Amino acid sequence: MKCKTAVVGFGCAGYHAVKAMREHGYQGEIDVYTDTAWSPGNPMLTTYYIHGKISKAGTCPFGTMEEIQKQFDFRVISKAVDKVLSEEKRVRLKDGTLQNYDQILISTGASAFIPPIPGTHGKNVFSMRTMDDAEMVKQVLETEEIRSAVVVGASMVGIKLVELFHARGIHCTLVDMAPYIFPVAAVPQIACEIERRLKNMGVELAFSKAMQAVEDENGKKKVVFADGQTISCDMVMMCIGTRANTQVADEKIYINKGIVADNFMRTNMPDIYCAGDCSEGMNLQSGHTQIIGIWDNAARQGAAAGANMAGAETVYHGNMLHNITHFMGMDFIGYGDVRSEGEEFEYENKEKGQYFAVRVKDGVPVCMNFLDSYGASGVLKSYMLKKMTGSRDSLSPVARVRLKAEGIPEKLINLLMKEKEN
Ligand SMILES: Cc1cc2nc3c(=O)[nH]c(=O)nc-3n(C[C@H](O)[C@H](O)[C@H](O)COP(=O)(O)OP(=O)(O)OC[C@H]3O[C@@H](n4cnc5c(N)ncnc54)[C@H](O)[C@@H]3O)c2cc1C
């Protein structure tokens, strides 16, 4: 068993790795390198902190660093890592010092991507990823008169900002280059229903708009679009995506868009593992590695990496694209690739406000959206994942009853059941 482990970055993936290492009996030293004073936090909760719904401690689901340290016995080195020197088995810190390791996990997450557009680094233009971002936005909202905001990026992050502004009575416009909301997760009909509800709540939407610049005009911000339209506001949030923090990996470590992992969360270099938003694991649907930048994936990848670092042989088969998000009284769940083709099934229960759309190819769902109708989603998701990992099992009778009770059309259930008979 390896005796000195380093973990670079201590968010969701780093935490789950350390937890799994100890749970699998690893007794060696663990050095955790972190560049933030924020105990492992959940970035999804930052907007609730800004709004005052939860405390700063409430954004840290695993407790304080001291509590976690007590539980899992590790050393915290509050310094940023500059490079993992893979052949020397050392890390170089940003202050130039070098530290040894026997095995290492890179779990550095991702950073908000700010496009090279004029004005995006100006006053009152922000992004949202870290607690520092949250503190800056909170301060501006509490000390300045912010009456209107533009959120650029109709993403899971963008919608959280829309929710925040709406809750504070700030007039908000959500803009995106895509023609509709959640373009990488939602099918057009579900997106259309979400948009209808947002508009009813007073949120302005401006889609198919390419932002060209953010300018200052008479003490306000002016967002300029390629079609000549402009929107005047007090604050701009940039939520157009993230980039994996792969800079710590040296040139020997294989990087695509993220650090590429095998099914054991190992990189191509010996004793170097990776997990979370900085890494590319298997997308079971496409059969290629891809960054799947969501909390659940970071947790599972981290846990698998940690178990393997402790000597257990734990395979992480991969995941599929998925999004689960709650905002403004709505629950949206999206599984699979929205670009995939197949026969489409839709269900709408206007009374309960429930909608879902499922696309099926060769008897297997390839893309599913649920709006306020999450009851069936777990059953269908596990069915979908089973199929992607080669299972020939069909829906169980219990699952069938559950789907029926949730209002899934008989035609779809029969289609899934039919597989067993073939
Ligand atoms: C506003 C918002 C809303 C979101 N909504 C959803 C959602 O609805 N559903 C969902 O599933 N996911 C959502 N996500 C994404 C989810 O939060 C991430 O997928 C998850 O937090 C990734 O965990 P991680 O451990 O890989 O990375 P992180 O949580 O980013 O942790 C990485 C850590 O590494 C540290 N670090 C980086 N570089 C270094 C270095 N060189 N040296 C030392 N330390 C370093 C960072 O400071 C950080 O603490 C959202 C994210 C945001 C920001």
Ligand 1, atom 37, lies closest to the CA of: 108
φ, ψ of residue 214 in degrees (nearest 5): -120, 120
Ligand 1 center to 407 CA (angstroms):
36
Exposed, middle or buried: residue 198 (CB in 10 Å: 0-12, 13-18, 19+)?
buried
Sheet containing 322-327: order of strands = 322-327, 330-336, 364-371, 354-361, 343-349
> Which residue's alpha carbon is nearest to atom 45 within ligand 1?
9
CA distances from 29 to 2, 3, 36, 103, 360 (A): 9, 6, 21, 11, 49
pLDDT of the residue at 408: 83
Ramachandran category for residue 303: left, alpha or beta (phi over 0 → left; psi -120 to 50 → alpha): alpha
pLDDT value, residue 420: 45
Query: pTM higher than 0.85 for the full model?
Result: yes
> What pLDDT does 387 receive?
86
Strands (E), 24-147: 29-33, 75-77, 81-85, 90-93, 98-100, 103-106, 110-112, 125-127
Nearest to 298 by CA among 55, 98, 3, 19: 19
Mean pLDDT, contiguous 10-residue spans, the chain (422 residues): 89 98 98 95 96 96 97 98 98 97 98 95 96 97 98 96 98 98 95 97 97 96 97 97 97 98 98 98 95 95 98 94 94 95 88 88 89 86 87 83 85 71 42
Nearest-CA residue for ligand 1 atom 12 is 294
12 lines ligand 1 (CB under 6 A): yes
Report CA(12)–ligand 1 centroid distance (Å): 7
Q: Nearest residue CA, atom 26 of ligand 1?
A: 276
What is the pLDDT, as a whole number, of residue 95?
A: 96
SS3 205: strand
